[in-house]
A and B are shown apart, each in its own frame.
Chain A
Amino acid sequence: MATVALDSFVAELDRLQADAVAALAVAADADAVERARVEFLGAKSGRLKAIQKLLGGLAGPDKPAGGRHFNEAKQAVAAALEAAQGRVAGAAATAEALDVTLPGEPVRLGHLHPITQTIRRVQEIMGRLGFESVDGPEVEDQWHNFDALAIGAEHPARDPLDNFYLAVAQGADPLLLRSQTSTVQIRVMERRKPPLRIVSLGRVYRPDTADATHYPMFHQVEGLFVEPGTTMAHLKSVLRLFASSFLGGDVHVRFRPSFFPFTEPSVEVDMEWGGRWIEMGGAGMVDPAVLAAVGYDPDEVSGFAFGLGVERIAARRYGVADIRDFYRNDVRFLEQF
């Protein structure tokens, strides 16, 4: 029987181990690793298998040492194989991973107009105070826009140059686009008896030249409160609750005397905002003439009314310097609200 020298056996093993580790180290992909596995560890004709056959040719006393060397070499090659397999699998995994920093698929979000959002906020706060929102026509008659509001036939507010009158047939009662939402309050009072808490809101129209603070079409929110025993203290208290809720914190309100045909006494309402008094709108006790015009007895009930310019408070709230921007309908503007 041919014998094999232990030295040459070990040298053969070392060479195999070095070749296998080198081959596995440079294998670039799963195929290359598999080819190396077959070459070195193949069950039928792998080089390790060939060397294993030489093990039987070692002299008897050399066999334990030869076996130990063989096992060490086999384990080293197996470890290299495992490392290589892990490496190429990892490479594949890396290729499939997502660049999670890419943006998601855009969802087009709709937006409510900032004027609508402001109106809703006012409605919500006033709703908590028991005021219901009411609505009425924008094309109005003289009675609701003027007479019932104690704006007499000679009052400058009725001037054709200060209103949008409709061109209608001769003899008909002239109609106009309402210049205030108080018209709706008259309509509600004509239909219903006190107690009454309403906010009327919507578009109103006045022929102002459009500039940064004026637009011939704008929005008003007007409140009306009619109950027996209502005083200006109730008006101030309700407006303070509103201001505190709308602006946040404990906000104070200030009344300055003013003049409106349909309230008496009439006041301008200032609210404290950022350490300053900001003019928020007009208010007052409902004029007895208005109560009488809708069939209420001014000695039985009293009430207060107030009005807010929606564009003004929305402009302030959102930092809009030019109220015409509210009507440009630019999506780049609308998307910010």
Chain B
Amino acid sequence: MIISLNWLADYVQIQAPTETLVERLLMAGLNHESTETVGADTAVDLEVTSNRPDCLGHIGVAREAALLFSRPLHVPDPRPLEGAGRVADSVAIEIRAPDMCPFYSARVIRGVRIGPSPQWLVDRLATVGVESVNNVVDVTNYVMLECGQPLHAFDLAKLRGGRIVVRRASEGEPFTAINHKTYALTGQMCVIADAERPVALAGVMGGADTEISVATVDVLLESAQFAPLAVRAAARGLVLQSASSYRFERTPDPAAVEWASRRAAALILETAGGTLAQGVAAAGTLAATEATIWLRPGRVAEVLGIDVPAARQHAILTGLGFVDTARGDQALEPGRWRAPTWRRDVFREIDLVEEIARIEGYDRVPEDRSITARPVELSAREVTVRIASGTLVEAGFCEAMTRSVVSESLEGTASPWGAAPPLVVQPALVRGADRLRRTLLPSLVEARAGNLAVGAPHGELFEVARAYVARSAGGADHASPVEEPLLVAFVTGGGFFAAKGVVEALLERLGVARAGGRIECRPADLELFARGRAAELVLTRGTAAPERIAVVGELSAAVLEAAGTAGPAAGGEVRLDRLEFAVGVDRTLRRPSDYPAVERDVNLVVAETVPWGEIATAIHAAAGPMLEHCRVVQVWHDAERLGAGKKSVVVALRLRSDSGTLSGDDANRIVQAVIENCRQAVGATLRA
């Protein structure tokens, strides 16, 4: 809302410098955007919050200023002189959509002379950035900017049938606005029609056919109430926002409907001449509420933490136009206040407290109150996330933040976390990106590709974020229809084992095994990954059913191609929301043995099809607690020396006891047990 200071001075005389005025208004809730000199005037642009339509007119701002500077406020009381003829003889009004237009009124001025506005009017409008059109249109704009009530003037001769019909637009109904563009309306919009066709889009814009022109002789002056939703539907739906729609969306002062009509009529008579017909043509019922609000003594102090004397509270509310209807001793008894018509936003006690606070000034509120100490701990989820991101940082990854909503090309592969198709949002987050992602990996591959393309030092990235998976029907009634797995995902230029190593390090850091979680790694066939080069990690805990908690692998050609990456990449994705159980478990020291270790290598020959996991299980089962560590040294294939379909697995065993030095014989017995168990379990033979 741009305010002309010359104009403001019509209602209140402020002696203070402009900076002081602006500062006080700022601290009372009218944010200062800018101050500009326009000719001999000053334009001050103020940001008005959506709850204050009263400040979308000069009088509303003047009322605030008058109270802040303890100056009297002068609001004109227009009494235009009525002449010959009655409005009712010129026009009949009918409201067919009272939900969209509760009240409509019109005055008629006959015999005007359309021409340029007087200089004072041109100047004031220029200060606030409104171009002068002609004397009648300028008056309607002027009055709107004065009191916040939008008006519209029609050329009465162009209205067919002497009728005004306020109705819902029909679906697809054409309407040509003053801007000479034609719009197709919808049933959510409200029109002003004459006997035949729409002549205005209610509260938004007038029609081209009936606008005031140099040929206009008789004027119909509209002043009405329109419902915010209908005005918003039209203004937004047609992208046709106007100063009028802006105000109607915020509900102007109902009392200003009549005041603005009289004020504009008086100014038209003054600037364009003519004769005002007697009376007002009106239909509907003015929607106005007069809230009665109780204000308890002491309530202000309870909310603000400062004492504002009862007399001061009374002065503030009275200055803002509230009426004290109790007139008791407000220091002792609750006050009963009636809100002014222009303050629909104030209808509760807390609203009165806010009024008192903002005029009294928040700078009075102290900033040195103490609060009691309270211990807090990070939640298991927060700790889990911190351990996960900490591990990835330790491993040399940079944290990325990619969009939660992605394009179809990044959502083309099935998710490891649910079979449901992706959820779609409207509108798209950015162009083409309207799918809630069900996995983070494609986004990270895309970010990696971007890094490689610009020659960044590397593209080793991770992210902690949610995926979104529609729950299948039949879940718990109270559950959200969307599950949000909390994931840590990463992408690397290394191969499968580089990626698996990261996942293993992460699970180790989280202490999953220590907390009793058993992880099994299985081959997995997932669209995200290249065939035969991916695994799922399955968690078993207590009696709960085994559950996939991680996937890892070399990314498929399709994913790499969709992301536009140059070169291969591997990655993994881990469900942190399923691993929170691990962080609450305390660590207990297992003291390292003081005795020396015995190292033994064993060369086992097994069928190619036997996975390491089975060999390891057999080794661990046979070796018992003396096996401190077991490591694959080498796997080699040689059909000639090993036989077809065989492989050699060289395993290094480190044996150690907590209670004494292991002898060579002890070690040999353990190794023999291992070999024997491997023979039985996986058909291994010993290669000398």
Contact = CB atoms under 8 A, between A and B. Distances in A.
Interface of A: 107-113, 115-116, 123, 127, 129-135, 137-139, 141, 154, 156, 159-161, 164-168, 172, 175-177, 195, 197, 203, 205, 207, 210, 216-217, 225, 229, 231-234, 236-240, 252-259, 264-268, 285, 287-288, 302, 326-332, 334-335
Given A139-B468, A265-B303, A329-B451, A116 B363 contact: no
A131 to B, nearest CB: 7
Contacts of B401: 113, 115, 326-327, 329
B378 A133 contact: yes
Q: Which 3 A-B pairs have the closest CB atoms?
A: A233-B305, A231-B305, A257-B29
B545 interface: no
B362 A255 contact: yes
B121 to A, nearest CB: 33
A331 B458 contact: yes
Interface string B58-72: 000000000000000
Contact of B427 (A164, A233, A239): A164
Contact of B379 (A135, A165, A233, A330): A135
B306 A233 contact: yes
Nearest to B378: A133
Tell which of A110, A131, A234 has the most Cβ of chain B within 10 Å: A110
Contacts of B426: 160, 164-167
Contacts of B374: 130, 195, 197
B306 A205 contact: no
B350 interface: yes
5 contacts: A113-B400, A168-B481, A252-B367, A264-B348, A264-B353
Interface string B280-299: 00000000000000000000
Nearest to A243: B367
Given A130-B375, A237-B369, A259-B29, 6 more contacts: A110-B460, A138-B468, A161-B236, A203-B404, A254-B363, A335-B398
A266 B354 contact: yes
Contact of B373 (A130, A138, A156): A130
Given A108-B460, A137-B482, A335-B457, A237 B404 contact: no
Given A259-B51, A329-B400, A331-B459, A265 B354 contact: yes
A133 B384 CA distance: 13
A271 to B, nearest CB: 11
Nearest to B452: A331
Contact of B26 (A166, A233, A238, A256): A256
B210 interface: no
Contacts of B363: 254-255
B637 interface: no
B482 A161 contact: no
Sorting the interface of chain B by its residue count into under 10, 10 to 19, 20 to 34 or 35 or more gives 35 or more
B663 interface: no
Nearest to B458: A331
Contact of B424 (A139, A166, A210): A166
Interface in B395-450: 395-405, 423-427, 429-430, 436, 447, 450
A231 B404 contact: no
Interface of B: 26-29, 31, 49-52, 228-229, 232, 236, 249, 301-306, 348, 350-351, 353-354, 357-358, 362-363, 365-379, 381-382, 389, 392-405, 423-427, 429-430, 436, 447, 450-451, 454, 456-462, 465-466, 468, 480-482, 484
A215 B424 CA distance: 19
Contact of A257 (B362, B368, B424): B362
B29 A256 contact: yes
Contacts of A167: 423-426
Nearest to B377: A132
Contacts of B350: 264-265, 285, 287-288
A110 B362 contact: no
Contact of B365 (A112, A166, A236): A236
A231 B303 contact: yes
A255 B306 CA distance: 14
Contact of A259 (B52, B392, B398, B450): B52
Contacts of A267: 362
A266 B399 CA distance: 36
Contacts of A127: 376, 378
A135 B272 CA distance: 64
A164 B468 CA distance: 14
B293 to A, nearest CB: 13
Tell which of B358, B376, B395 has the most Cβ of chain A within 10 Å: B376
Contacts of B377: 132
A256 B362 contact: yes
A139 B437 CA distance: 12
A149 to B, nearest CB: 15
A156 B50 contact: yes
Nearest to B237: A161
Contacts of A239: 367
A139 B379 contact: no
B233 to A, nearest CB: 10
Nearest to B447: A329
A217 B437 CA distance: 14
Contacts of B304: 231-233, 265
A141 B368 CA distance: 39
A132 B429 contact: no
A313 B400 CA distance: 19
B389 to A, nearest CB: 6
A179 to B, nearest CB: 12
A135 B369 CA distance: 28
Given A216-B429, A216-B430, A138 B404 contact: yes
A330 B348 CA distance: 51
A134 B379 contact: yes
A180 to B, nearest CB: 16
Contacts of A326: 401
A255 B655 CA distance: 69
Contacts of A115: 401
